[in-house]
Amino acid sequence: MPRLIGAVLNPEYQAEQITTFNASGTFTTQPKTTEIEYLVVAGGGGGASYYYGGGGGAGGMLTGTGNPVSGGSPYPITVGGGGAAGTGGPGVPNGGSGAKGSNSVLGTPTPITSEGGGYGGGNGQPGGGPGGSGGGSGTVGFDQPGFPASAGTGVPGQGNPGAEQNFPGPGFQSGGAGGGGAGAAGTSATKYPSPSPNPSKTGGPGGNGLASSISGSSVTYAGGGGGGGYYQAAGGSGGTGGGGAGGPGNGGPATGGTTNLGGGGGGGSHPPGTADGGAGGSGVVIVKEALINQDTSSCWDLRTVFRAVKAGNWTN
């Protein structure tokens, strides 16, 4: 004989959980989790040293929802480090270019990989490097034949290109170009005909980053590094989201990208003093598991209850 169960309540509850990885580790899902929301930012590229260094590109930035996982399962997390700063000047290998940032990876069954930011171009290798966002190009400060200064390219959907610093002809001068950010490309330094006032020849600004609220508050990530300023001029500003500022043209230091924001490092400027570039900022991985709160119950009208009790088919 079938038996009816009354006043049944089957709760399905799991709290929302946000997990932030500032370094590599392992992410273990809660028991009822079947999909996740994520932010994956790679390490920013390093800025180049003198003369006049390009800013590093921001680390690639990826966001999304609905990434499938299994409940109670471990997944590897890789947080990319920032690229090293360029050091030295003419005569050093690669002319003081920075180093590319490292990738960040969310190692779920459908893995998410953000590419490290491109390096800023230096004196002997002035073109910016490719990456999540591309690095800005460097310059010797004036037009020089056989000195290409192309921009580093960015990965579509992750970032933007850096800026170029090619001159339109002889007799022009400028600082270094800015690296790209997740929200905008880097900007070239203004190219001035010579003679013109040196203090006006600032470095190019880095591209701005993008904001995310996955952590519970709005934070901007992945800004590009600014280019180094020409002699006596200011360095380019870093992009919002942790981009480092370029070094000023009196030999002051460039600024590194911000840790765990994936910002590109600023480009170095002109000796005397410290004219090295700034290192890229490390990346970050943030994972959000949504609240689960589903109650299921069996409700019966009084007539159904009466008939079931009378027939001896009701239990509590």
pLDDT of 91 strictly over 70: no
* Alpha helix (H) residue ranges in the chain: 302-310
Q: What is the pLDDT of residue 105?
A: 98
Higher-confidence residue: 313 or 303?
Answer: 303
List beta partners, residue 129.
Answer: none
Q: What is the pLDDT of residue 273?
A: 64
> For strand 9-14 and strand 314-315, is the pairing parallel, antiparallel, or unpaired?
unpaired
| Listed range (45-54, 164-173, 204-213, 300-309) with the worst mean pLDDT | 300-309
**H or E element, residue 37:** strand 35-41
In this prediction, residues 196-221 reach a mean pLDDT of 94
pLDDT in tens, 131-146: 999 999 988 766 666 5
pLDDT of 32 strictly over 80: yes
- pTM for this entry: 0.88
Within 8 A by CB and 6+ apart from 278, the residues are 46, 47, 56, 85, 225, 244, 245, 247, 253, 254, 255, 256, 257, 265, 266, 267, 268
